[in-house]
Structure 1
Amino acid sequence: MDVIIEKKTWTPARLMLLGALVLVVVAVAALLLTSAGPAKLTIDPDRVTMSTVTRGAFQEFVPVDGLVMPIKTIYLDAPEGGTVQRILVEDGATLTPGQPIIQLANSDLQLEMVNRETAVFDLMNNLHNTHNLLQQNRIQQLNQQAEIENQLREAKRLYELNKNLYELKVIALQEYRQTKNAYDYQLRRKQLSRQALRQDSLAMRQQINQMQQSVNRMQSNLALMRRKLDDLTIKAPAAGRLTSLSAEIGELKTRGQRIGQLDMLTGLKVRATLDQYYISRIFPGQKGEVTVNNKTYELSVKKIYTQVTQGVQVDLEFTGSAPPDLRRGQTVPVRLALSDQTVALRVPKGSFNQKTGGNWIFKLSADGTKAYKTEIRLGRQNPDYYEVLDGLKPGDRVITSSYDGYEKMGELALSAKAQ
């Protein structure tokens, strides 16, 4: 009986043929990939910005807008409340020290001043009357003491006379003792009178001193009231220009209310607000510059405000003369230096960095017809340049405009025929 032999689908010959075909396909694909090279794109050179890498002065700085202000401003507040009676100067006037600005009226202060003057007058009258009474009392005591001394001398004379007579047995013991007792009594009266006079003198001095101190206090209070009345005339504390004057005739001003400000004429400063990103890189004495009418003026950071709200505020003062045409409230562009000026390899800033992150750039060939993707390394930057640390050399020409649509390309062909 015959046995049916099944024919094999994958014979050794077929397997060898399939393997050979796979090898051919792989070889062709590898050849194609090897010969293709980087992706290319032809562009119009007028659509891109080409810049030259140079070596030159480089400095980190931040551009900010600065507000021109006087170096020192004195705020004018009402020391006492009152109704505006007279406005003696106009807003913007240049004032001298002590020049009156506004005259206020306050009837309550004036009435209080009259009452205090009356009280001081009454107290001084009382002091005068008390002094007179004490002087009269002292005179009476002195008269009394003189009388006591006279009686003491008479008692002493009789005592000494009777003592001699008693020793001579001329008078009796009783008469002698009477004169002796009278003499001792007058002597004691004199001692008590002196002690009373001394105590009265001390009491009189104390009373007069107390009353004098009261008068002095009242006069000090009166002087204070006079100063308060004088404060109703608001005066310029120093020389300067009056600005922001806020007052109308008949308007009621309360104590401490702002009526204006006095800008000192000693110079101008510029106040700038920086992003808080730079807070650790700002310090007193840092340099800056401002350009006014095509002329550059140097600035220096004078004060850094510690309170950070919407940014870091700094005050800059001119190291030399200020621009003559500069006015308070004017806004000027300030370049604040963040580093010293050095010599570095630099490339002009452009939009290319948004796609490359500073890691590569399109560098033009020597004939300028092609641009190749070149790895670079960038460092510091300012609004004009990037610092180039590696990958380029002076004289290289690069594309610095936007790389939208070019980021996956390895080579750009520059041709005016490109659409």
Structure 2
Amino acid sequence: MDVAIQKKTWTRTRLLLLATAVLVAVVVVVSRMAAAGTAKLNVDPERLTISAVTRGEFQEFVPVDGAVMPIKTIYLDAPEGGTVQRILVEDGATLTAGQPIIQLANTDLQLEMVNRETAVFDLMNNLHNTRNLLQQNRIQQLNQLADIDYQLREARRVYELNRTLYEQKVISQQEFLQTQNNYRFQQRRQQLTRQSLRQDSLSMGQQIGQMQQSVGRMQSNLALMRRKLDDLTIKAPAAGRITSLNAEIGELKTRGQRIGELDMLTGLKVRATLDQYYISRIFAGQKAEVTLNDKRYELRVTKIFPQVSRGLQVDLEFNGPTPPDIRRGQSLPVRLALSDPTQAVRVPRGGFNQKTGGNWIFKVSEDGTKAYRADIRLGRQNPEYYEVLAGLKPGDRVVTSSYEGYETMGELLLKAKAD
């Protein structure tokens, strides 16, 4: 019986062809790399930016735009609802503490105030009448006790007299027992009356105390209501400048509605928003600076907002005097330091890094006729310089402009065009 012979996929011929193709590709790549290393190009020096490598102060910083704000802002909300009756100040006016700003009107609140005052007066009248009735009752009980004391003394006198006469056999036993029983009755009567008087005194004290507490609570509520009426006049809680005043005559304001802002006049701060990339490198007390009219002003980070939405928001305050003539809402260019200043070899920033990745650069020869590739290693950077860790030294000159079209060149011949 015939047996089917399977055809091999990878024959010796195919393997030889594949190896030849790979070898050719490697040769092409190597040749191109060699050509790139030796390729030369004539370039007009005026089309290039040639910068000097220097050694000097280097500091990482991030430039941000900050907005000038008052160092503290108090938000003014309506503590009670009402209709705007009068506007007593203009937007932007400087106010003193307690100065009225807006007068609201609320008839429901005023009517409730009248009702509570009437209730307090009624309760105070009831307390006065009750106190008078209790005093009259106590006077009657005291008169009754005085009469009982008199009757007890008289009964004791008769009892003692009859006891002597009975011992002398002058009166009968029946008569003596009657006087004795009357004396004991008056004693018991006096005890019960005194006990009743004490209980009535305690009850009267408790009743009057409860009514006085009720009056006190109602008076406290009345005082609270008066404060609510006073809140219809919105006043400045502190000295400052009123801004964003939002009120019109006849407008209805609800409780808690924002009517304006009060900026403290104690100083100004700068609020800036940074990229989230720097979130781990920002901390309270971090230094920054702003330059105005060729003068530097130092700042420090005083607050870092925990919410990160469109960026990391921070507040900065001036370490020394505030720059003159800056205003709320003004934009300032701030340099926020990310490190302490150190001495380092540095090269100006430029477009070269986009093509080289910071691994090499065109270094200009001493005679200035050409620029050749030089391997370098860059470290930190700021908007002005790159830190050079290796490959360059102070005094070297390098091409820092864009290398677009030059990335495959090994050497640039710097020749100016003839006129």
Normalised by the length of structure 1, the TM-score is: 0.91
C-alpha distance in 1 between matches for 2:418 and 2:215: 104
DSSP 3-state at the match of 1:69: strand
Deviation per residue, 1:191-225 (Å, 9 max, x gap): 00000000000000000000000000010000000
State the shift of 1:37 in Å: 6.7
DSSP 3-state at the match of 2:221: helix
State the shift of 1:119 in Å: 0.4
C-alpha distance in 1 between matches for 2:343 and 2:113: 74
Q: Where does residue 185 of structure 2 map in the other structure?
A: 185
Q: Where does residue 82 of structure 1 map in the other structure?
A: 82
Q: Where does residue 261 of structure 2 map in the other structure?
A: 261
Q: Is the 8 A contact 1:44 1:418 kept in 2?
A: no
DSSP 3-state at the match of 1:91: coil
User: Cα distance 1:247–1:58, how it changes in 2: closer, same or farther (>3 A)?
Assistant: same
Gaps of 5+ in 1: 1-32
Q: Is the 8 A contact 1:42 1:418 kept in 2?
A: no
Q: Where does residue 56 of structure 1 map in the other structure?
A: 56
Gaps of 5+ in 2: 1-32
For 1:152, the aligned partner's letter is: L
For 2:91, the aligned partner's letter is: D
Matches within 5 A, 1:14-413: 38-413=38-413
C-alpha distance in 1 between matches for 2:367 and 2:347: 20
State the shift of 1:34 in Å: 9.5
Deviation per residue, 1:250-279 (Å, 9 max, x gap): 000000000000000000000000001001
Deviation per residue, 1:354-382 (Å, 9 max, x gap): 00000000000010110010000000000
For 2:204, the aligned partner's letter is: M
1:416 aligns with 2:411: no
Q: Is the 8 A contact 2:36 2:408 kept in 1?
A: no
Q: Where does residue 3 of structure 2 map in the other structure?
A: none
For 1:257, the aligned partner's letter is: Q
C-alpha distance in 2 between matches for 1:406 and 1:204: 108
Deviation per residue, 1:290-330 (Å, 9 max, x gap): 11222211100000011111111000000001111110011
C-alpha distance in 1 between matches for 2:244 and 2:294: 31
Q: Is the 8 A contact 2:298 2:319 kept in 1?
A: yes
C-alpha distance in 1 between matches for 2:138 and 2:167: 43
DSSP 3-state at the match of 1:404: coil
Normalised by the length of structure 2, the TM-score is: 0.91
For 1:313, the aligned partner's letter is: Q
For 2:38, the aligned partner's letter is: P
State the shift of 1:416 in Å: 1.3
C-alpha distance in 2 between matches for 1:144 and 1:344: 109
C-alpha distance in 2 between matches for 1:83 and 1:205: 48
For 1:338, the aligned partner's letter is: L
For 1:95, the aligned partner's letter is: L
Q: Is the 8 A contact 2:355 2:407 kept in 1?
A: yes
Q: Is the 8 A contact 1:43 1:418 kept in 2?
A: no
C-alpha distance in 1 between matches for 2:310 and 2:35: 58
C-alpha distance in 1 between matches for 2:346 and 2:54: 6
C-alpha distance in 2 between matches for 1:77 and 1:306: 25
For 2:80, the aligned partner's letter is: E
C-alpha distance in 2 between matches for 1:163 and 1:34: 153
State the shift of 1:35 in Å: 11
Query: Which 4+ runs in 1 deviate beyond 3 A?
Result: 33-37
